[in-house]
A and B are shown apart, each in its own frame.
Chain A
Amino acid sequence: MGFRPIANTRSATGIMTAKLAVWWLIASEIVIFGGLLACYIMHRLAHHEWAYYAVHTNVIAGATNTMILLTSSLFAVLAHHAAEQGDGKKAARNLLITCGFGLGFLVVKSIEWTTEIQHGYTITANTFWSFYYTAAGIHGAHVIVGMLCMLWVANTARQGKDLHRVENVGLYWHFVDLVWIFLFPLLYIAK
């Protein structure tokens, strides 16, 4: 059997080290996304003309992606529930479904961005669009990383190994969903 870290299952603080690490990761992500959104909000408030640009964002695509991520979060927590019951196969299946929704999110995002870029709304069009692509792009990168992690965890969970990871990867995924919950009204609803 290959190298298997055991430190991540220790819990000197009362929380398993791996889970604590995910919470710390989320704390650092709050600063990253928080800083970005704070910048966006203050510029949006300072520049009412951004409303002229914001009308071009696609509400239907944004709403579809919100539903996709909310549903994916449900399956992530169902995977966690299955892992708690010791059912690795079911946990893996739910994680794969979550990944499927993640892929759906990226497909909708790709279609949306292609249309916008074709209409000239590129990242260099103006500062609004720069924020739009930066925020949604960084978020999209997190979706991809989350999916890769889930595929890895699903593979081990399927074999009944390291089921505690299912909750950890789920926490990360829920955070990705949380970020979108705030990006959606900021980029799509506030016209």
Chain B
Amino acid sequence: MAEHAEAAAEHGHDDHGHGEHHDVSFYYKTYAALVVLFIISVVGPYIGEITGIQIITLITAFGIAVVKAGLVIRNFMHLNVEKAFVHYFLITSLAFMFLFFFAVAPDVLKHDGTNWENVAAKDWIEQKDAEYAAGGGDHHGGGHGDAHGEDHGGGHDEGHGEKKDEGGHH
């Protein structure tokens, strides 16, 4: 049993592969930085909404998320001292995600193009805008069943349903 404990402790150190050993205070400091960033990511979007400056929301919500993720990856997961090939296959996974996004996005983001029009999506958005403008949509938090009642059933073909080809090609 003692041998096991010894071997395990040894693995913890030697096969660890870090090449750097942090003091506990390093992790507390990282945590404090994460908390500060978290507060900014919550307060920032409110300021962005009040001032109407959308870039504040984008930077504080999503920019800060990237910084927070970087801190966790570097200081908690210690990826920076990991073998290079680990970086390569993680980056490959991310690359596949971006490949998927950019391959599919043009078809989803656009609702019309040469010889095709996504009528269902346009109608759906128009209908929801009208409901919202009339105050009858589910823009209020309290209404029991309003989201369910109005959207149930219709939500599934909200745009990515039928593409109606006008020219037989899209």
Contact = CB atoms under 8 A, between A and B. Distances in A.
Judged by DSSP, the binding face of B is helix
Given A15-B82, A47-B158, A126-B151, A171 B35 contact: no
B93 A31 contact: yes
A171 B49 CA distance: 36
A162 to B, nearest CB: 5
Nearest to A26: B90
Given A166-B12, A174-B76, A182-B65, A125 B152 contact: yes
Interface residues of B, number: 84
A1 B95 CA distance: 45
Given A55-B141, A67-B35, A86 B72 contact: no
A43 B83 contact: no
B42 A63 contact: yes
Contacts of A56: 138, 141, 147
A59 B13 CA distance: 41
A42 B159 CA distance: 12
Contact of B105 (A42, A170, A191): A42
A85 to B, nearest CB: 8
A66 B38 contact: yes
Contacts of A175: 77
Nearest to A20: B86
Nearest to B104: A42
B156 interface: yes
Given A16-B11, A160-B1, A164-B15, A24 B148 contact: no
Contact of B147 (A15, A76, A121, A181): A121
A27 B96 CA distance: 11
Contacts of A148: none
B92 interface: yes
A52 B139 contact: yes
Contacts of A143: none
B27 A81 contact: yes
Given A26-B90, A38-B101, A74 B31 contact: yes
Interface string B129-170: 100100001110111111111011011101110000000000
A28 B90 CA distance: 9
A23 interface: yes
Interface in A120-173: 120-122, 124-130, 159-164, 166-167, 170-171
B160 to A, nearest CB: 7
A55 B27 contact: no
Interface string A33-61: 01100110111011111001101100100
Interface string A5-20: 0000101011110011
A74 B28 contact: yes
A181 B69 contact: yes
Nearest to B108: A42
B42 to A, nearest CB: 6
Contacts of B55: none
A84 B156 contact: no
Contacts of A45: 109
